[in-house]
A and B are shown apart, each in its own frame.
Chain A
Amino acid sequence: MGLASREGCRPRRAFPRGFLVTLILALFLVLPGMARAQQDPFTDITATTADVEARGVTGLAISGNPRAAAVLDALRDGKLYAWKWPRPDPPLYIRTDKGYIDARTGDPVDAPALNNIRKVIVSDTVRAAIETAEGALDLFAKDPAARRKAAEALFLSADPGALPLIEKALVSEQDAGVARVLREAHAAALLKSGNGTEPDRLAAVHELANRADLQSRSLLQSLQDQPPSVAAAIATAIAGIDRKMELWGLAENVYYGISLGAVLLLAASGLAITFGVMGVINMAHGEMVMTGAYTTFVVQRLIAAFAPALDQFGLLIAVPAAFVVAGALGVLIERTLIRFLYGRPLETLLATWGLSLILQQAVRTIFGPTNQDVSSPAWMSGSIDLGGLTLTVNRLWIILFAILVLGALMAALRWGGLGRSIRAVTQNRRMAAAMGIRTPVIDALTFGLGSGIAGMAGVALSQIDNVSPNLGQNYIIDSFIVVVVGGVGNLWGTLVGAMLLGVVDKFVEPFAGAVLAKILVLVLLILFIQRRPGGLFPLKGRVAEA
């Protein structure tokens, strides 16, 4: 890693060395009033020697002159013109579309005779200096975010030439966060410059150790020929950074695991109802998920055709739509197929497998075998940086959605009228019937509820997976595993099972590969069921015997 970044710096190696001179000279510049007249940066940038010209660029950037940005822009674009002949207080022009303006004031001026002026030539050295300087100019911007960005850029470049600039910015900086980045940038530049007293350098190493990311690590690693005390500090700092990054890596794995777990949780929540509560083995459950995904696709198409204004809210509309479509399909399936097979789980398994084949082929016939294009709204794209973590926003939404769905489901089962009936029928069918509950209706609605939740899972999956007829197939085995691990008929168990499976999967993956991880999880599951056939949280007492 360290080696790679050093390789990356090689083309620029000549440039910082040239800046050693600049650095020393520039240090003089910031001393108040000192040699201002002779060292006017506006004069320096017109110099024909690259070193002096680059010094002028830096000087202009540090000067805080409001015209600096415009002049540097003009210089880079080859629109800066200097007076050709020696004279006191030589004028400086910028050529614009409308004529010439005075570079120092920005006021329009009469066009000078072309034989009196010359274009200021920009060499590679100067161009690089302009880049650094332009980034650095933002250090004095009004917006703290812009200042922070500029400071970060300076940190990454670790350019000793920017030291005076950073010091100047540090003096006036009010925002604590930006000031920290500035100190880090200062430390990086200082270490890179090879100058500075030993205590200064030790402090700089300490600063970088606190930052603790890949860049500071590679920067520290690239430092050579340090005094022993500094070298020792660097070694400790690198070790510390490695430890911290390992922790972040761990956290990242947990995040990925939780996000996979959320996906599994969504897919398995519906199954926890149909399989867990009703005891129906629905092999077509994956196809309910697929139905939800295709509903999302259709809803987006309809919105694009009839109400383009609602573009951003397509997914929000798709969630209830998918619930209704998949739920209705579930009720239909229960009434026409499942109800004839109650109490015969093996036959149910076969019949619903057949159903899944039919549903897949139906979708293939209607929509074609290729993946359908489901778009993501703007509020679901992008990512958030959190310390050393990068969290993708769509995954965050899915985690949130999974929790919401599970919470709503639990609340509905506990407090809802339908939920009460469902529990009554599950616990004692005959007594429930005697109390006036129409058990066949409840059966159909329960199955519809489970299927509808699968449909909502499909909406979420359409955001992270290919919407194809095989979509459901990829989740059916995992979903069953989650429900079985969590314990049949136990929604909390489903939650724990999904998270466990997701996190285990992501932790095994890095050192075993995705396929082997899958195999390992399956083997673990087989062993797990051997040990605890009732799942993580087996039902106890008479219920378990029934």
Chain B
Amino acid sequence: MMRFDRLTPITLGCVLGAAVLLAALNLLTPAASAAHVPNFVISLVGKYLCYAILALAIDLVWGYAGILTLGHGAFFALGGYCMGMYLMRVIGARGVYADPILPDFMVFIGWKQLPWYWQGFDHFWFALPMTMLVPAVLAFAFGWFAFRSRVSGVYLSIITQALTYALMLAFFRNDMGFGGNNGMTDFKDIVGFPLNRESTATGLMLISAAVLSAAFLLARGMTRSRFGKVLIAVRDAESRTRFLGYRPESYKLVVWVVSAIIAGIGGALYVPQVGIINPSEFAPGNSIEAVIWVAVGGRGTLAGAILGAILVNLGKTWLTNAFPEFWLFAMGGLFILVTLFLPRGIIGLFMLRGGAARPEAAADNAPGAAAAESAARELAG
């Protein structure tokens, strides 16, 4: 356990330090200088930090509650849509159709009135809590049903995937009033700061780093607390925990909703930095990709999720530029190699010698060992 304590300051230091350093190099050095960090790097880093927030949310439920979610992209995208609605409203009369109230796409499809669910989104103080509330409500409703009826394991994974798939299909529809296929874009400014100014981009990146750090501390606090200990017990032996008098579904529901809120905030920070939100963010593939970030970094370590998200996306950016054909091979290979040879992820590689006492460690450490395989098959029926 001492090792994790060392990990926390290292993680916080790396995230905040790197963000501040990059921001300083971007703002304070002349453009011609060799040390200057160009703007696109800043927005790229901001994007990675948002991905890291999503990965953190996934690690919280997958690493500590054993819920493999294949639909967390839905909460991320919902947070993003709430922020997108705010950004859309503040465009006001500066849109192509210059309608002071209606966003361009609504004018385009011939709507005369703002739908009720768009009311209030012109205020930042309203939109910001919504980016957390909307994912939270969906997560609560979903989790309430799922955990109470004890849907777990692979079934839960497939239902989460179906959830985000259904949302994707719904948001593709024009008459939903969220811009349909094209989504929302052409944002102008956020709380008065023009989005095309570099200081705004740098500011958003710094805020993302701060939010990531805060979410990390929150998640760490949760998992270290008594609550977190029960959660781990639920993950490793749900029935036994239940027999000891705990209610696993309540623990799962709380961590599930908190995780959805964190993901929603990540999405809300993501949208102003990339400048667009559309239904493809709901694609099941995105959510599964986010799971592999966590797996690469190390499931159940929190710091690993952040590391994994940033490393994999760095690799993705580089590969899609250098060898676009090769990216899916690399991505697929990563899924296979990590599950076969690196079940504890990169962080786990360093932790392994300490012999972390997890019940499933025996199976994890010796993939393919005949005895373990046979025993596991027996369990799986």
A residues contacting B by CB (< 8 A) are 279, 281, 337, 339-351, 353-362, 365, 429-430, 477, 480-481, 484, 515-516, 518-519, 522-523, 525-527, 529-531, 533, 543, 546
8 smallest A-B Cβ distances: which pairs?
A343-B376, A354-B335, A358-B332, A546-B381, A357-B332, A361-B328, A354-B332, A351-B339
A121 to chain B, nearest CB (A): 56
B residues contacting A by CB (< 8 A) are 68, 70, 145-146, 149-151, 153-155, 157-159, 161-163, 165-166, 169-170, 172-173, 284, 288, 291-292, 295, 325, 328-329, 331-336, 338-340, 343, 363, 367-368, 372-381
Which residues from chain A contact B325 at a C-beta distance below 8 Å? 361, 365
Pair A343/B377 contact, Cβ less than 8 Å: yes
Pair A340/B288 contact, Cβ less than 8 Å: no
Interchain Cβ contacts under 8 Å between A and B, 28 examples: A337-B340, A340-B340, A342-B373, A342-B380, A343-B376, A345-B380, A346-B154, A350-B338, A350-B339, A353-B335, A354-B333, A354-B339, A358-B329, A358-B336, A360-B328, A361-B332, A362-B329, A477-B284, A484-B155, A515-B170, A515-B172, A518-B166, A526-B159, A529-B149, A529-B151, A533-B150, A533-B155, A543-B381
Q: In the complex the two chains form, what is the Cα distance from A452 to B8 in whole Å?
A: 50
Q: In the complex the two chains form, what is the Cα distance from A546 to B343 in whole Å?
A: 25
Contact of A481 among B146, B162, B375 (CB under 8 A): B162
Q: In the complex the two chains form, what is the Cα distance from A484 to B159 in whole Å?
A: 10
The chain B residue with its CB closest to the CB of A354 is B335
How many contacts between A and B, using CB within 8 angstroms? 139
Pair B328/A351 contact, Cβ less than 8 Å: no
Q: In the complex the two chains form, what is the Cα distance from A430 to B378 in whole Å?
A: 9
Contact of B173 among A343, A480, A515 (CB under 8 A): A515
Q: In the complex the two chains form, what is the Cα distance from A340 to B378 in whole Å?
A: 15
A445 to chain B, nearest CB (A): 16
Pair B149/A530 contact, Cβ less than 8 Å: yes
B65 to chain A, nearest CB (A): 13
Q: In the complex the two chains form, what is the Cα distance from A344 to B333 in whole Å?
A: 19
A442 to chain B, nearest CB (A): 12
Contact of B336 among A337, A430, A526, A529 (CB under 8 A): A337
The chain A residue with its CB closest to the CB of B291 is A350
Which residues from chain A contact B284 at a C-beta distance below 8 Å? 477
A239 to chain B, nearest CB (A): 35
Pair A350/B335 contact, Cβ less than 8 Å: yes
Pair B165/A477 contact, Cβ less than 8 Å: yes
Pair A339/B162 contact, Cβ less than 8 Å: no
Given A337-B340, A340-B368, A349-B157, the answer on whether A526 and B332 have CB atoms closer than 8 Å is no
Contact of A522 among B145, B165, B292, B381 (CB under 8 A): B165
Which residues from chain A contact B151 at a C-beta distance below 8 Å? 529-530, 533
Which residues from chain B contact A356 at a C-beta distance below 8 Å? 332
Which residues from chain A contact B373 at a C-beta distance below 8 Å? 339-340, 342-343
Which residues from chain A contact B334 at a C-beta distance below 8 Å? 354
Pair B165/A351 contact, Cβ less than 8 Å: no
Pair A526/B328 contact, Cβ less than 8 Å: no
B217 to chain A, nearest CB (A): 27
Pair B368/A526 contact, Cβ less than 8 Å: no
Which residues from chain A contact B338 at a C-beta distance below 8 Å? 350
Contact of B153 among A345, A355, A480, A518 (CB under 8 A): A345
Pair A519/B170 contact, Cβ less than 8 Å: yes
Which residues from chain B contact A350 at a C-beta distance below 8 Å? 288, 291-292, 295, 335, 338-339
Q: In the complex the two chains form, what is the Cα distance from A435 to B126 in whole Å?
A: 69
Contact of B367 among A340, A484, A527 (CB under 8 A): A340
B68 to chain A, nearest CB (A): 5
Contact of B169 among A340, A484, A518 (CB under 8 A): A518
Q: In the complex the two chains form, what is the Cα distance from A348 to B154 in whole Å?
A: 10
Which residues from chain A contact B336 at a C-beta distance below 8 Å? 337, 351, 354-355, 358
Pair A477/B161 contact, Cβ less than 8 Å: yes
Pair B340/A342 contact, Cβ less than 8 Å: no
Given A355-B332, A355-B336, the answer on whether A480 and B367 have CB atoms closer than 8 Å is no
Pair A279/B374 contact, Cβ less than 8 Å: no
Pair A343/B380 contact, Cβ less than 8 Å: yes
The chain A residue with its CB closest to the CB of B172 is A515
Which residues from chain A contact B291 at a C-beta distance below 8 Å? 350
Q: In the complex the two chains form, what is the Cα distance from A356 to B367 in whole Å?
A: 21
Which residues from chain B contact A481 at a C-beta distance below 8 Å? 162
Pair A477/B328 contact, Cβ less than 8 Å: no
Q: In the complex the two chains form, what is the Cα distance from A353 to B295 in whole Å?
A: 13
Pair A358/B166 contact, Cβ less than 8 Å: no
B248 to chain A, nearest CB (A): 15
Q: In the complex the two chains form, what is the Cα distance from A186 to B375 in whole Å?
A: 80
Q: In the complex the two chains form, what is the Cα distance from A429 to B292 in whole Å?
A: 32
Which residues from chain A contact B335 at a C-beta distance below 8 Å? 350-351, 353-355, 357
The chain A residue with its CB closest to the CB of B378 is A429
Pair A349/B68 contact, Cβ less than 8 Å: yes
Q: Which of B159, B163, B165, B334 has the most CB of A within 10 A?
A: B159
Q: In the complex the two chains form, what is the Cα distance from A527 to B161 in whole Å?
A: 15
Pair A346/B157 contact, Cβ less than 8 Å: yes
